Amino acid sequence: MDRILEGKTGVVFGVANKRSLAWACARSLSDAGMRLAFTYLGDRLEKTVRQLAAELPNSIVLPCDVTQPEQVTEVFEAIGKEFGHLDTVLHAIAFARKEELQGDFYHTTKEGYMLAHEVSAYSLTEITRAALPLMEGREGTIVTLSYIGADRVIPGYNVMGIAKAALEASVRYLAADLGPRGIRVNAISAGPVRTLSASGVKDFSKRLDNVADRTALRRNVTAEEVGDACLFLTGPHSRGITGSVLFVDAGFHIMG
Ligand SMILES: NC(=O)c1ccc[n+]([C@@H]2O[C@H](COP(=O)([O-])OP(=O)(O)OC[C@H]3O[C@@H](n4cnc5c(N)ncnc54)[C@H](O)[C@@H]3O)[C@@H](O)[C@H]2O)c1
């Protein structure tokens, strides 16, 4: 792997364990030379995230629950002290209550709707705003993870599909805001991968089997493939791309 990100720094939101898409992305970025900060949600995940981060050179680990604005501020204060600047933000977090991810969408409660949007969509804007002072003048990149449930009705995805649609629209507005500063903002729409969050979606295993038969490549994607797409959107080879949603789904989205 070429060290195309040597001397660059990034922050990764969303590692829960080694199956996390955020972890696959982090590995691709680190292999290319990027120094990383990781955040974790709550004491329960701290040990796992610290153990994983220790596998990558010079990484740091910080707590962050995006529903607590002061924790978002503290993350970037700590990164400022440790790294001095920031080139990349990877936003790979989402949450909806289990009861909102089954049955009919119209049963979604206002509380459940707001929580899903706060964590899964609004947090991108909040994190971007907090990161900006450290990203000035560095032609940085921001990448988030979405799903085809933003465009199409996927049974069981429910309120998360609405939140992903808001996330993808946020990518476009943020890209337009930050383009004049040379900062690019893109999303990856990943095919289904078995992770902790995915297990919360009803009948996820069935979906994995169904999708594999219906993709152009006749298989599911791997977390590593999502990680390498993240490297592409972070690095110089994608320098002409911003405001886009890149499908990394083995071609599922083109099939009729
Ligand atoms: N796995 C898939 O099939 C798939 C497909 C397309 C998109 N995605 C997206 O990829 C992203 C990563 O999910 P994953 O599948 O790797 O699962 P994951 O469970 O490994 O990661 C989700 C992360 O969100 C974090 N999170 C939840 N609430 C948070 C909060 N309040 N503050 C901070 N962090 C919080 C969790 O701690 C966890 O690390 C999500 O945005 C998900 O929607 C996943």
Is 213 contained in some domain? yes
Number of domains in the chain: 1
Ligand 1 neighbours, Cβ below 6 Å, are 14-16, 20-22, 41, 45, 64-67, 92-95, 119, 145-147, 190, 192-193, 195-198
Token pair recorded at residue 107: 């049963």
Is 184 a domain residue? yes
- Is residue 256 situated within a structural domain? no
Which residue of 21, 70, 171 sits with most ligand 1 atoms within 8 Å of its CB, as the best mutation to test the pocket?
21
Q: Which atom of ligand 1 is nearest to the CA of 191?
A: 5
Cα–Cα nearest to 186, from 138, 134, 239, 122: 239
Do β-strands 60-63 and 88-91 pair in parallel, antiparallel, or remain unpaired?
unpaired
Atom of ligand 1 nearest to the CA of 120: 41
Active-site residue flag, 147: yes
Atom 33 in ligand 1: residue holding the nearest Cα = 65
Annotated catalytic residue within 106, 113, 157, 173: 157
Rounded to the nearest angstrom, the distance between the alpha carbon of 93 and the centre of ligand 1 is 4
Reduced to 3 states (helix: H, G, I; strand: E, B; else coil), residue 235 is coil
Ligand 1 centre distance from Cα of residue 142 (Å):
16
Q: Is the pLDDT of residue 13 over 70?
A: yes
Rounded average pLDDT over 126-130: 98
List, as one string, the DSSP characters of the chain.
Answer: ---TTTT-EEEEE---STT-HHHHHHHHHHHTT-EEEEEESHHHHHHHHHHHHTTSTT-EEEE--TTSHHHHHHHHHHHHHHHSS--EEEE------GGGGSS-GGG--HHHHHHHHIIIIIHHHHHHHHHHHHHTTS--EEEEEE-GGGTS--TTTHHHHHHHHHHHHHHHHHHHHHGGGT-EEEEEEEPP---TTGGGSTTHHHHHHHHHHHSTTSS---HHHHHHHHHHHHSGGGTT--S-EEEESTTGGG--
| Residue 1 within any structural domain of the chain | no
**228 is a domain residue:** yes
Asked if pLDDT for residue 171 goes beyond 90, the answer is yes
Gap from CA of 94 to ligand 1 centroid (Å): 5
Report the DSSP pairing between strands 9-13 and 35-40. Answer: parallel
Q: Looking at the domain assignment, is residue 253 inside a domain? A: no
- Each residue's pLDDT tens digit, 66-107: 999 999 999 999 999 999 999 999 999 999 999 999 999 999
Angle between helices 123-135 and 158-178 (to 10 degrees): 30
The pLDDT mean for the chain works out to 96
Q: What CATH code is carried by the domain that includes residue 124?
A: 3.40.50.720
Q: 80 lies in which domain range? A: 9-246
The pLDDT of 105-125, averaged and rounded, is 98
Please check whether residue 3 lies inside any domain of the structure.
no
d(CA 195, CA 206): 14
Residue 1 confidence (pLDDT) above 70: no
Tens of pLDDT, residue by residue over 15-73, are 999 999 999 999 999 999 999 999 999 999 999 999 999 999 999 999 999 999 999 99
Say which amino acid occupies 28: S
**Helix intervals (H) in 183-253:** 204-214, 223-234
- The answer to whether residue 34 sits within a structural domain is yes
For the question of residue 173 being annotated catalytic, the response is no
CA 21 to centroid of ligand 1, rounded, Å? 8
